[in-house]
Amino acid sequence: MDKENQFTSSAINPALSIPQLRSAFDGRVIGPEDADYGQARTVFMGGFDLRPAVIIRAANADDVARTISLAQETGLELAVRSGGHSAAGHSSSDGGIVLDLRDMKALDIDVAGRTAWAEAGLTAGEYTVATGAHGLATGFGDTGSVGIGGITLGGGVGYLVRKHGLTIDSLLAAEVVTAEGKLLHVDEEKHPDLFWAIRGGGGNFGVVTRFKFRLHVVDTIVGGMLLLPATPEVIAGFIAEAEAAPEEFSAIVNVMPAPPMPFVSAEYHGQLVVMALMAYAGDAEAGERAIAPLRSLATPIVDMVRRMRYPELYPPEEEGYHPTAVSRTMFIDTVDRSVAQTILEHLRSSTAAMRVAQLRVLGGAMARVPAEATAFAHRDSRIMVNVAAFYGPHDRVEQEAWVRGFAAALRQGDGGVYVNFLGNEGVERVRAAYPGSTWERLVAVKRRYDPANLFRLNQNIPPEG
């Protein structure tokens, strides 16, 4: 390492001398007195007003190791940030150290070999645009500003989930800095236990600085937004058609009030609609045939589905957007007319200006991976649901109660949850993300690589189980 990777009580005082830290790191060190501290401490989700003691914008893996050493020596809480989208606020810390990876954006694309080494500070949108220039892609989620670090470590459910599986199903290798400050190359042969754990187990085991992904040929797709009136028949019919569609088709179905977007007629603003975002990653004519039954469910309010380049699914996002919302995630087995009616009744009963029931049909390539192959164990789950309500300054408690009631009304036989959509919901909900023997295996890996639970600001898997 280029600089001394030691931080002892004699070298760094308890108040964290920012000038001393700046001399020890290659990347930026931002303290509370710096002009851009307010911006640097801000995360994507609103409602988190945390003030870290220091923010370290790592320039490389050596900086990551130095930050881990600093946290070990000072005993301060360590938050690791890729894109800053944690619904539980784990992307920052009150009084601790924030290790911000956003400046680590190197991307090495092997077009002929269809692989890419990507640093963890890249966003899904940045990665997708760069690989899309070659007609290639790795599946991430539905939001371009999400960091590839967080979404990958939790699983990754997006527009290619049925065709190419989860993000982790395209992960070939990774470089991980452990709690001891060691940089490990992990894959199926080297440290296979750690490689298994980081594919779904979150940031519990170290800081991933680089990912090696498989790239798939995904050039022109048939996709975009389809807005339909929200009736029980349309909702149930849409899910049925999505389940019956070829694996090339994946959709994210939002039942919600129509937002006042310029391309939505004013008469529909605030009315419940089915806003479907979809992609058919295959032959264009076959894609048009697969989407035709969806268009015929009702007269579309908006039809923006067309042939496009895959990166166009990640449009520019609004600057300064920091939503305040409460949510609940789960898996269910079916959406029939009765379930659709329940969805509509609960959405109508809410006082929130914006509320949503989001449905994602799974299966396909994701379901063909054995449950024990990765730490994401929900391979047989059929439909993922996320219900959410946005809250204002005075109604958070009310909206939390509504979300809990809505989720309870939708609950079926599948007790699992998707870890990337969890908020601060308690130990039992974290356990639900890792059912059966998955939890015990993760605890064993945690005990081996992070026995003191340094990496605890996450959906935590404690080393003592």
355-361 and 302-303: which strand pairing?
A: unpaired
Which helix (H) or strand (E) segment holds residue 229: the answer is strand 220-229
Residue 382 has a pLDDT of: 98
Residue 1 has a pLDDT of: 44
Distance CA 377, CA 369 (A): 10
Pair of tokens at residue 287? 């894609």
Residue 13 has a pLDDT of: 41
Residue 156 has a pLDDT of: 98
Which residue has 């995360």 as its token pair?
A: 43
Chain CA centroid to CA 1, Å: 32
CB-side neighbour CA atoms (13 Å) of 23: 8
Pair of tokens at residue 69? 């050493």
Pair of tokens at residue 325? 């919302």
CB-side neighbour CA atoms (13 Å) of 437: 4
285 class by beta-carbon count within 10 Å (0-12 exposed, 13-18 middle, 19+ buried): exposed
Contact predicate 120/149, CB 8 Å: yes
Query: What phi and psi values does residue 234 have, to the nearest 5 degrees?
Result: -65, -45
Distance CA 342, CA 354 (A): 18
Distance CA 352, CA 272 (A): 13
Long-range contacts of 122-126 (CB under 8 A, 24+ apart): 122/147, 122/148, 123/83, 123/147, 123/148, 124/83, 124/148, 124/151, 124/158, 124/314, 125/311, 125/314
Contact predicate 393/343, CB 8 Å: no
DSSP-based helix, strand, coil % in the chain, nearest 5? 30, 25, 45
Give all domains of the chain, ordered by start, each with its CATH number.
Answer: 18-100 (3.30.43.10), 107-217+437-449 (3.30.465.10), 220-421 (3.40.462.20)
Residue 16 has a pLDDT of: 77
Residue 28: strand, helix, or coil: strand
Cβ count near 222 (within 10 Å): 24
Residue 317 has a pLDDT of: 83
Residue 220 has a pLDDT of: 93
pLDDT along the chain (465 residues), means of 10: 45 68 97 96 93 98 98 96 94 97 98 98 98 98 96 98 98 98 98 98 98 97 98 98 98 97 95 98 97 98 98 88 94 98 98 97 98 98 98 95 98 96 96 97 98 98 89
Contact predicate 272/230, CB 8 Å: yes
- Give the sheet arrangement for strand 107-110, strand by strand: 107-110, 115-119, 207-214, 171-177, 183-186
Whole-Å CA distances, 135 to 41, 45, 454? 36, 32, 40
Residue 113: strand, helix, or coil: coil
Distance CA 57, CA 98 (A): 8
Contact predicate 171/181, CB 8 Å: no
State the Rg of the chain over Cα.
22
Residue 193: strand, helix, or coil: helix
Q: Quote the DSSP letter at residue 274.
A: E
Contact predicate 432/416, CB 8 Å: yes
Distance CA 181, CA 62 (A): 9
DSSP code per residue over 214-263 = E-EE--EEEEEEEEEE--HHHHHHHHHHHHHS-TTEEEEEEEEEBP--TT
Q: Across 312-398, where does the E strand assignment appear?
A: 325-332, 355-361, 383-390
Residue 15 has a pLDDT of: 54
Distance CA 374, CA 78 (A): 26
Give 133's contacts (C-beta < 8 A, 6+ positions apart).
none
Distance CA 142, CA 421 (A): 13
Beta bridge partners of 223: 279, 306
Nearest to 104 by CA among 122, 126, 123, 78: 122
Give 449's contacts (C-beta < 8 A, 6+ positions apart).
178, 179, 194, 205, 206
Nearest to 243 by CA among 363, 341, 337: 363
Beta bridge partners of 229: 273
Residue 9 has a pLDDT of: 35
